[in-house]
Structure 1
Amino acid sequence: MDTQRVQETPREATIVARSDVVVVGGGPAGFSAAVAARRMGCSVTLLERYPYLGGLASGGMVLVLDDMHNGQEVTTTGICMEMIDRMARVGACVYPPEAERVTDWAMYRKWSRWGVFDFRSHVRPHPIVMAATFDPDGWKRIANEMVAEAGVQTRTHSWFSSAIVQDGAIKGVVCETKAGRQAIMGDVVIDATGDLDVVAAAGGDFTHGAYMVTTVFRLGGVDTDEAERVQFEEPERHAALDKQAKKIMGGSWDYWWLKTPLPGVVWCNCPHLVGYDGLSVEDMSKADFEGRKRIYALVQYARDHMPGFQNCFVIDVAPQLGIRQTRLLRGDYVVTKEDVQDRVHFPDTVARGRDYYTPYRAMLPKGLDGAIVAGRHYSATESAQKQSREIPPCMAMGQSAGVAAALAVQGGIAPRAVSPAAICAAVRAQGGDPGDRPSANAKILETAA
């Protein structure tokens, strides 16, 4: 036996499901893709490795939905807004009413600790915009309801293992489960894994990027009224305390804690950890340990020194490490940083974020048929992805991917042959905005590069 490798014998997998569309990954993009395809009338199987849907939204506890407003209009609608509204109806989501989305110090004081302001703006105070704060279990609850209502065959506890490829096209996938290896066959496979697991396993082209990772956590027992009072009425005292808290963490956003729909419970999108590879078992294990160590050091400091935090306690640490970037698809088109910053509108635009657009070609693996990619691992440069990877635009991409897959199945054609105009029309019929109507400040490309 080779001292470095083990040769496995050929293995088999039992085919447990066949459907028109197979979606791998039940995060925001995959969930949206599955619901959209099923609403088009296709049979859909959704595969998820964890026992819940939501990915980094619920399991990673990325509890603010932003990047969905360009200053003049809400740009990400469709399934994303449906999720927000349904969570709000059960008390699991909070967002500012339209009348309060203004640039005003009173509104900033009221809403900023919900995280619903335009943090990219150079205006002070930051404008309050359409964004939403939600409860992670609220997301899981509503996601379950929506896939059940749509009729999606959902298989959790199914860890993707390998892609089934024939004649240059993906025909299905194999998952590892407690019941053994299981195969799920489909006419179109949507890779919504976040790490491009399916396309990479099928031999698709990609680059390997990296960005900071985060061990997100929540604190209970926080007097948010007192904490906010000190922030706005004793700014020098607040700034000194906040500076030390961030030093203990070793890295965080400007607002390291935000309010949630649960009274006295705050969301801490920190500590940020750099130098870790989200594809490395060793690195992820180290990040988990280091993150908890910093969390409890911060909690002790907050109890001892920070107004409103004297009785705080850790409720939970996110079960999923906050991974922002790993594999990125090298698709038929690679979105650049300039495309995002210049608001380039493509002739094959099928999704939009804050004020940027996603071409359908950036969702198609080069030289590989039968697959569509949706999520943070779409075809973009590392710098472009860092500016366009938020949850709402990934959900918009997922909805368009699900629609595209359904159109491919119904037309008996490859995903690459589906008309972007047809995708946009179907997304609009579902209540979404695919970005086919560019905003006034968009840079319009008349032909595909």
Structure 2
Amino acid sequence: MTSERITDSPGEATIVARSDVVVVGGGPAGFSAAIAARREGASVTLIERYPYLGGLAAGGMVLVLDDMHNGDEVTTTGICTEMIDRMAKVGACVFPPPEERGQSWELLRKWGRWGAFDFRAQTKPAPIVMAAAFDPDGWKRISNDMIAEAGVDVRLHSWFSRAVMDGNRIKGVICETKAGRQAIMGDVVIDATGDLDVASAAGAGFVHGSYILTTVFRLGGVDTEEAERFRHEDPETYAKIDRQAKRLMGGSWDLWWLKTPLPGIVWCNCPHMTGLDGLSVEDITKADFEGRKRIYALVDFVRANMPGFGSCFVVDVAPQLGVRQTRLLEGDYVVTKDDVMDRVHFADTVARGRDYYTPYRAMLPKGIDGMVVAGRHYAATEAAQKQSREIPPCMSMGQSAGVAAALAVASNIQPRQVQPAAICARVRAQGGDPGDIPSANAKIMEKAA
């Protein structure tokens, strides 16, 4: 890569919108933040670079919502639960009812291929828990409905470019669009980009992490009943074919295909590619090309060898590359792996996952005012983020971020001055569980704010 540089004048941008809260990124965290802030009475503008809402849930086709059940209770509720229930009503979401959650081989056989099992369990069979398999276009459809009902001003096709700063305080953002540079101004900006694009541009510190990249895809024409019958009636032959399929992909989870709400359509959260940087144009281009190559090698193989897959075909490859980790915020507090694994409960907890908690300080960029961060790029070590980056906890963060932003605007204070207890009270009023009351089975070790 060349080291030559040019000087590019920032130029001017037309102010096209002003609102109390500006949310950059329309993925699960940003979507939740926008709705939560609007429900608290703030005017909200939501900016998204793609022509749809949903981020890695819809565009990246991460089609199971998990890490939201601690074995005794559903822990991630609120807007996440609303999304699940509304998708289910239109046939776009499937999840095990409460009476079919538990630990038995019969339950695992029924629900395992829906991804509705505790993937972190150390025991066998893995317990069936609350997890939801959904259709990506169903997510987009319900997102549009919920955003419109809330009254959020949505601007798609708008690629974040620059942060508008006044000293150490963000005042708005500039986006590149087909109409030229456009500025969206706001009192509080929420960075829900997943890659910390806004906060890093504003001068916030971060660490640069990396993890596997995935070109997620779906196959159609699959007889899932035949494939599952083969697996259970001839496990040795199945295992041999399965191992070869995984070798062709070069990396995948144990269950490389899962059922979806659409008959005959299966979800493949693979192939995985290591050693690539999700911020490098060269690397992500390589991943896109290499991923498709591996996908079609797999299809040729399973058509010829895997019962149930003889007539399969590629329905689609996710339009967004599966990027799991890039920039991680340097926040007022950085969550550690021990915090996650030991289920540390913080005095300023405002969001939660399965049995871990997120302190408000980990959503505040150190040294930057006017901003809250929500999503997989929150302040956590690389190891901690790998354990706490699933979609439902990111939605929990987003809901709390939206509430915090609205409270800051209403009181004319900085987000850093908003009391965590006030955030939690309003999230609970919206039907969410912010984690301020720890689970009975959690190992409680309070860490003061």
**Under TM normalisation by the shorter chain, which class is it?**
over 0.9
Which aligned runs of 4 or more in structure 1 are off by greater than 3 angstroms?
Answer: 443-447
The secondary structure found in structure 2 opposite 1:350 is strand
What corresponds to 1:376 in structure 2? 376
What corresponds to 1:64 in structure 2? 64
The secondary structure found in structure 1 opposite 2:366 is coil
What corresponds to 2:351 in structure 1? 351
1:38-94 CA distances to partner (integer Å, 9 max, x unpaired)? Answer: 011110000000000000000000000000000111000000000000000000000
1:148-180 CA distances to partner (integer Å, 9 max, x unpaired)? Answer: 000000000000000001021000000000000
What corresponds to 1:207 in structure 2? 207
Change in CA separation of 1:254 and 1:10 when aligned onto 2, cut-off 3 Å: closer
1:441, distance to aligned residue in structure 2 (A): 3.2
Instruction: Tell me, in whole angstroms, the C-alpha distance in 1 between the residues paired with 2:251 and 2:441.
Output: 34
Checking the alignment, whether the CA contact within 8 Å between 1:343 and 1:441 is kept in structure 2 is: no
What corresponds to 2:46 in structure 1? 46
Instruction: Tell me, in whole angstroms, the C-alpha distance in 2 between the residues paired with 1:286 and 1:180.
Output: 29
1:230, distance to aligned residue in structure 2 (A): 1.1
Question: Is the counterpart of residue 108 in structure 1 residue 108 in structure 2?
Answer: yes
What corresponds to 1:268 in structure 2? 268
Instruction: Tell me, in whole angstroms, the C-alpha distance in 2 between the residues paired with 1:3 and 1:79.
Output: 46
Counterpart of 2:226 in structure 1: which amino acid?
Answer: E
1:392-445 CA distances to partner (integer Å, 9 max, x unpaired)? Answer: 000000000000000000011000000000000000000000000011233434
Instruction: Tell me, in whole angstroms, the C-alpha distance in 2 between the residues paired with 1:245 and 1:61.
Output: 21
Change in CA separation of 1:3 and 1:139 when aligned onto 2, cut-off 3 Å: closer
Checking the alignment, whether the CA contact within 8 Å between 1:335 and 1:379 is kept in structure 2 is: yes
TM-score by length of 2: 0.99
Instruction: Tell me, in whole angstroms, the C-alpha distance in 2 between the residues paired with 1:192 and 1:240.
Output: 42
Q: Which runs of 5 or more structure 2 residues have no equivalent in the other structure?
A: none
Instruction: Tell me, in whole angstroms, the C-alpha distance in 1 between the residues paired with 2:9 and 2:379.
Output: 35
Instruction: Tell me, in whole angstroms, the C-alpha distance in 1 between the residues paired with 2:439 and 2:3.
Output: 60
Checking the alignment, whether the CA contact within 8 Å between 1:64 and 1:115 is kept in structure 2 is: yes
Counterpart of 1:376 in structure 2: which amino acid?
Answer: R
The secondary structure found in structure 2 opposite 1:275 is coil
What corresponds to 2:80 in structure 1? 80
What corresponds to 1:55 in structure 2? 55
Instruction: Tell me, in whole angstroms, the C-alpha distance in 1 between the residues paired with 2:438 and 2:242.
Output: 41
1:6, distance to aligned residue in structure 2 (A): 1.4
The secondary structure found in structure 2 opposite 1:143 is helix
Instruction: Tell me, in whole angstroms, the C-alpha distance in 1 between the residues paired with 2:19 and 2:220.
Output: 44
Checking the alignment, whether the CA contact within 8 Å between 2:224 and 2:308 is kept in structure 1 is: yes
What corresponds to 2:28 in structure 1? 28
Checking the alignment, whether the CA contact within 8 Å between 1:172 and 1:184 is kept in structure 2 is: yes
Count of matched residue positions in the alignment of Structure 1 and Structure 2: 448
What corresponds to 2:4 in structure 1? 4
What corresponds to 2:328 in structure 1? 328
Instruction: Tell me, in whole angstroms, the C-alpha distance in 2 between the residues paired with 1:393 and 1:447.
Output: 20
For 1:83-98, list aligned pairs within 5 A.
Answer: 83-98=83-98
The secondary structure found in structure 1 opposite 2:350 is strand
Instruction: Tell me, in whole angstroms, the C-alpha distance in 1 between the residues paired with 2:3 and 2:333.
Output: 42
1:3, distance to aligned residue in structure 2 (A): 7.9
Checking the alignment, whether the CA contact within 8 Å between 1:92 and 1:135 is kept in structure 2 is: yes
Q: Which runs of 5 or more structure 1 residues have no equivalent in the other structure?
A: none
For 1:50-449, list aligned pairs within 5 A.
Answer: 50-448=50-448
TM-score by length of 1: 0.99
Change in CA separation of 1:345 and 1:307 when aligned onto 2, cut-off 3 Å: same
1:197-220 CA distances to partner (integer Å, 9 max, x unpaired)? Answer: 000001100000000000000000
- Aligned-pair identity in percent equals 77
Checking the alignment, whether the CA contact within 8 Å between 1:218 and 1:316 is kept in structure 2 is: yes
Checking the alignment, whether the CA contact within 8 Å between 2:344 and 2:446 is kept in structure 1 is: no
Counterpart of 1:127 in structure 2: which amino acid?
Answer: P
The secondary structure found in structure 1 opposite 2:184 is strand
Counterpart of 1:280 in structure 2: which amino acid?
Answer: S
Instruction: Tell me, in whole angstroms, the C-alpha distance in 1 between the residues paired with 2:22 and 2:105.
Output: 48
Across the aligned residues of Structure 1 and Structure 2, the Cα RMSD in angstroms comes to 1.0
Instruction: Tell me, in whole angstroms, the C-alpha distance in 2 between the residues paired with 1:51 and 1:403.
Output: 26
